[in-house]
Amino acid sequence: MVGAQAQVFSAAETSIWAHGGGGRMKDVDGAVWDKRELVRAWCMRRTMFLVPSADLAMFVRGSAQRAKYALESEYSESGSSRPLDRLLDDVLEVLRLPRTRTQIAEELRGSTRYRVRMKAGGGWGSRRAVPWVGRGSLSLPVGYLLHLLGAREVICSGPNSGTESTYVRADRWVPRWKDITQEEAEDELLTRYLAAFGPATLADYALWMGVYQREAKVVWARNARSISEVEVEGKMKSVLDSDLSELEKVEVYRPLVRLLPYFDSFLLGHRSHRDVVGEANHGAVYRGQGWVSPVVLVDGRAAGVWSQARAKDGLRVSVSPFSKLSSAVMSRVREEASGLGLFLQSPSVKFAVL
């Protein structure tokens, strides 16, 4: 999977079920909050992912280039790196313990070095007021400071404080923390990407990472000896050398049906998804403001969208096929819905076709 997209945390949990099968949501929660085997952090495209704690350095260091763009832009705009570097150092010191954005701002205010004010800028078009921290001509929202920190350090989410997320240094949160260099992280992350999404192109990889192709090309070139080109429907794409023999021998037992949740990684790994989602249904899956709908996947193709509603008396799964599905496929879709009910530990599952 190379991480589960976790902008919506429940979607990340469901992605783990959809790709791995078995288990219960409480197992995922326990792995995140009790055992700390999984951790939520800003990674590829500087969006939130749920990833194995043991691989956190690889994910964050390997995807740091996008944050570096932003940091270099701030340096250029201010004409000096020193004030911002000092502020980031102070934020990092606050993050020795899990802190909300508001708590970060208040602790910085307490140092008397900074001024704090509430100002619009909540992200995703939100106009809600969020804390900004400033000194002299420098003034930035705390959330943006956390983004900039990704160019230098590894931070992750801690436990919620009420309705607010907290953030904390990885070396203070992850058991047996082990850091690696950015180059090591980039090389390993490219290998993981091709293992999950190959055959793919350099453009696919750059988009998935959220970087310019010139930076992606440097990483790709360093690993060229372990990458082979293959022809896919008349187009040249790349896979890992080590995966070639398995791809040549693989057999798929059909129908293969999965209920993929919002933002599932399978739908975010390539520049074009026309081979997965047909042109006529593209807008039903890839919606405005970056929303990716839950998808009924049949033999690697989007065959419809679906939704779930949870209540005390059970789970309701509703499916909207793009075209009529065979009885064999519908039977597998119902099995998937039942499996989701087990994962959510729902007392019952009601199924509907819309």
pLDDT tens for the chain, residues 1 to 354: 899 999 899 999 999 999 986 789 999 999 999 999 999 999 999 999 999 999 999 999 999 999 999 999 999 988 888 999 999 999 999 999 999 999 999 999 987 789 999 988 655 556 778 999 998 889 999 999 999 999 999 999 999 999 899 999 999 999 999 999 999 999 999 999 999 999 999 999 999 999 999 999 999 999 999 999 999 889 999 999 999 999 888 888 889 999 999 999 999 999 988 889 999 999 999 998 889 999 999 999 999 999 999 988 899 999 999 999 999 999 999 999 999 999 999 999 999 999
In the β-sheet with 38-42, what is the strand arrangement from edge to edge?
A: 4-5, 48-52, 38-42
Query: What contacts 281, CB < 8 A, 6 or more positions away?
Result: 302, 322
Query: What is the radius of gyration, based on Cα positions, of the chain?
Result: 22
φ, ψ (nearest 5 deg) of residue 28: -65, -45
**Are the C-beta atoms of 197 and 234 separated by less than 8 Å?**
no
**Are the C-beta atoms of 165 and 31 separated by less than 8 Å?**
no
**Are the C-beta atoms of 352 and 319 separated by less than 8 Å?**
yes
End-to-end CA distance of the chain: 30
pTM of the model: 0.93
